[in-house]
């Protein structure tokens, strides 16, 4: 796979002696190319193909030429669902759950999201940035080059804006791509206790327009569940988001089937996330709309859930399946997208190739991004080097630091 620039002496970087998991639909597992090279210029890939396709003097092509030492190169991982900006932690709830308390019982007792809201509101922007930046760097070191970061732990306009500004700063500081999502409909804030519809009014009339006017969010999310917001209330949020030109996605059918996946699909949603309880009708709706199913095995594991997502139905209907960390303080304190890939294989029975595609190609699609997720000329030079013998090892190893190097836009991040 070459471009007309293949003879240019001004590439920014060229890696030789590599093995590429391009994830192109070539009929080869992982879109693999052995004895390969990867070249990039101005933040984009200009060559991803066999070494034999390069000129006789490849060192004349690029200002920087290195050997990959037979490492596998994959697209940079895309974590399409995180809540990594938050104050405090919820380690005590981990102990409560081990003692038998359910997630729903903890939430109804004032714990859960509400406790993180208190800590997040109390932190100023710099105090919120420091630990959040550390969490983001952990994800990047393990191969992630694109991060989605949600708000939803502020639940008032000032705090939600603060969270989204911090998320933008994380991208500026680390060099990773950050996509922000406004999740004001995450939980009911204490000042609106017993006034759920009034809070939805406030979301639609005040918060969403302000967030949109400041261009702080790339998408809008909601938590449609019995302990959060009803389908009717979620519909109102989505209608306002769409009127403001913001795409939507949804925490759908995690604890019960309220038709959340179908609701997201009805609005052309980028994704429906969790979906453990989604039925056949919801899967069909997602397939028809092109809505991505985002699987979050970290939360499934942490909550010791037993209701599996409808994996076979998703396969049967051709619904793309993404995999994400769901990094959050209460139900998925998971600092590795690669570990989420392992859990998706072990708990949900995805194949290693499905899991890798889920954390690259399909995760990019879940963010509405067509310029990454594969290794091909013209796409962003987001990639990671892995000194492993086969791509399946990215899912096989439980923990550890496998990434030898991580690049975003052709710039080394880790």
Residue 371 pLDDT exceeds 80: yes
- Under DSSP, is residue 47 helix (H, G, I), strand (E, B) or coil? strand
CA 322, CA 286: separation in Å to the nearest integer? 13
Mean pLDDT of 102-106: 81
pLDDT at position 4: 40
pLDDT at 97 (0 to 100) = 82
Question: Closest Cα to residue 327, out of 336, 316, 319?
Answer: 336
Provide the pLDDT for residue 112: 82
Nearest to 322 by CA among 290, 292, 280: 292
Does 42 show up as a binding residue in the annotation? no
**Degrees (nearest 5) of the Cα angle 348, 349, 353?**
115
C-alpha radius of gyration, the chain, whole number = 21
Q: In which band, very low, low, confident or very high, does the pLDDT at 110 lie, cut at 50, 70 and 90?
A: confident
Q: How far apart are CA 275 and CA 269, in angstroms?
A: 14
* Surface-to-core class of residue 106, CB atoms within 10 Å of its CB (0-12 exposed, 13-18 middle, 19+ buried): buried
For the segment 256-262, the average pLDDT, to the nearest whole number, is 97
Is 412 annotated for ligand binding? no
Q: Find the largest Cα–Cα distance for the chain.
A: 73
The residue among 386, 339, 346 whose CA lies nearest residue 79 is 339
CA distance 198 to 207: 13
User: How does pLDDT run across 163-216, given as a tens digit for each residue?
Assistant: 999 999 999 999 999 999 999 999 999 999 999 999 999 999 999 999 999 999
> Is 90 annotated in some ligand binding site?
yes
* pLDDT > 70 in the chain, percent: 98
Q: Which of 103-117, 208-222, 265-279, 325-339 has the lowest mean pLDDT?
A: 103-117
Mention every residue, 6+ apart, whose C-beta is less than 8 A from residue 286.
Answer: 261, 262, 264, 265, 272, 292, 293, 314, 317, 319
294 pLDDT band (50/70/90 cuts)?
A: very high
Nearest 5 degrees, angle CA 347-CA 330-CA 306? 30
Give, in degrees to the nearest 5, the angle at Cα 281 between 277 and 284.
110
* Residue 83 marked in a binding site: yes
Mean pLDDT in residue range 119-133? 98
342 labelled binding-site residue = no
Residue 253 pLDDT greater than 90, yes or no? yes
Report CA-CA distances (Å) from 142 to 78, 170, 249. 11, 16, 26
- Containing H/E element for 50? strand 44-50
CB-based contact 155:86 (threshold 8 Å): no
Q: What is the mean pLDDT of residues 39-62?
A: 95
**Is 328 flagged in the annotation as binding?**
yes
- Identify the sign of the CA torsion 181, 182, 186, 187: positive
Q: How do residues 134-154 score in pLDDT, each as one tens digit?
A: 999 999 999 999 999 999 999
| φ, ψ for residue 318, nearest 5 deg | 70, 30
Q: What residues have CB less than 8 Å from 265, skipping those under 6 apart?
A: 272, 282, 285, 286, 288, 289, 291
Tell me the whole-structure pTM to 2 decimals.
Answer: 0.96
Alpha helices in 193-332 (DSSP H): 196-202, 208-213, 231-243, 260-266, 280-289, 297-302, 311-317
In this prediction, residue 10 carries a pLDDT of: 87
**What gap in Å lies between CA 243 and CA 239, rounded to an integer?**
6
Q: Does 351 appear as a known binding residue?
A: no
Q: Tell whether the model's pLDDT for residue 6 goes beyond 90.
A: no
Confidence of residue 1 (pLDDT cuts 50, 70, 90): very low
Domains of the chain: 11-75+374-412 (2.30.40.10), 77-366 (3.20.20.140)
The pLDDT of residue 3? 40
pLDDT by residue (tens digit) across 380-398?
999 999 999 999 999 999 9
Residue 317 counted as an annotated binding residue = no
> How far apart are alpha carbons 221 and 83 in whole angstroms?
12
pLDDT digits (tens, 9 = 90+) for 352-363: 999 999 999 999
pLDDT of residue 210: 98
Q: What is the mean pLDDT of residues 249-275?
A: 98
d(CA 20, CA 53): 14
The verdict on whether residue 196 carries a ligand-binding annotation is no
């Amino acid at each position: 796979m070459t471009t007309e620039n293949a003879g240019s002496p001004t590439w920014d970087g060229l890696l030789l002696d590599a093995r590429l998991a391009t994830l192109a639909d070539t009929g080869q597992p992982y879109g693999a190319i052995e004895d390969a090279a990867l070249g990039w210029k101005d933040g984009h890939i200009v060559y991803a193909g066999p070494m034999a396709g390069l000129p006789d003097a490849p060192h004349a092509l690029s200002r920087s030429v290195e050997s990959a030492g037979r490492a596998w190169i994959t697209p940079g991982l895309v974590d399409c669902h995180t809540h990594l900006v938050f104050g405090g932690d919820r380690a005590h709830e981990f102990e409560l759950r081990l003692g038998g308390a359910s997630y729903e019982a903890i939430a109804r007792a004032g714990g859960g999201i509400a406790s993180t809201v208190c800590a997040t509101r109390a932190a100023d922007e710099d105090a919120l940035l420091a630990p959040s930046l550390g969490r983001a760097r952990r994800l990047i070191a393990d191969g992630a080059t694109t991060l989605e970061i949600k708000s939803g732990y502020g639940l008032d306009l000032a705090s939600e804006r603060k969270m989204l500004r911090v998320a933008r700063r994380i991208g500026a500081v680390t060099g990773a791509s950050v996509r922000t999502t406004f999740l004001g409909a995450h939980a009911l804030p204490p000042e609106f206790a017993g006034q759920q519809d009034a809070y939805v009014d406030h979301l639609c009339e005040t918060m969403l327009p302000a967030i949109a006017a400041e261009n702080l969010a790339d998408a809008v999310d909601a938590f449609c569940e019995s302990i959060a917001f009803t389908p009717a209330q979620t519909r109102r949020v989505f209608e306002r988001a769409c009127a403001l030109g913001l795409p939507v996605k949804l925490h759908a059918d995690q604890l019960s089937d309220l038709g959340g996946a179908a609701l997201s699909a009805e609005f052309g949603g980028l994704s429906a996330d969790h979906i453990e309880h989604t039925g056949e009708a919801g899967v069909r709706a997602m397939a028809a709309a092109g809505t991505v199913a985002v699987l979050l095995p970290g939360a499934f594991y942490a909550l010791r859930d037993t209701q599996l997502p409808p994996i076979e139905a998703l396969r049967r209907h051709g619904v793309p399946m993404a995999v994400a960390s769901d990094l959050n303080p209460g139900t998925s304190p998971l600092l590795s997208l690669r570990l989420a890939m392992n859990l998706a294989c072990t708990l949900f029975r995805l194949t290693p190739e499905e899991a890798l595609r889920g954390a690259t190609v399909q995760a990019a699609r879940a963010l509405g991004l067509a310029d990454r997720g594969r290794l091909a000329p013209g796409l962003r030079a987001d990639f990671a080097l892995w000194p492993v013998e086969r791509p399946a090892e990215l899912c096989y190893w439980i923990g550890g630091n496998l990434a030898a190097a991580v690049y975003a836009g052709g710039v080394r991040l880790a």
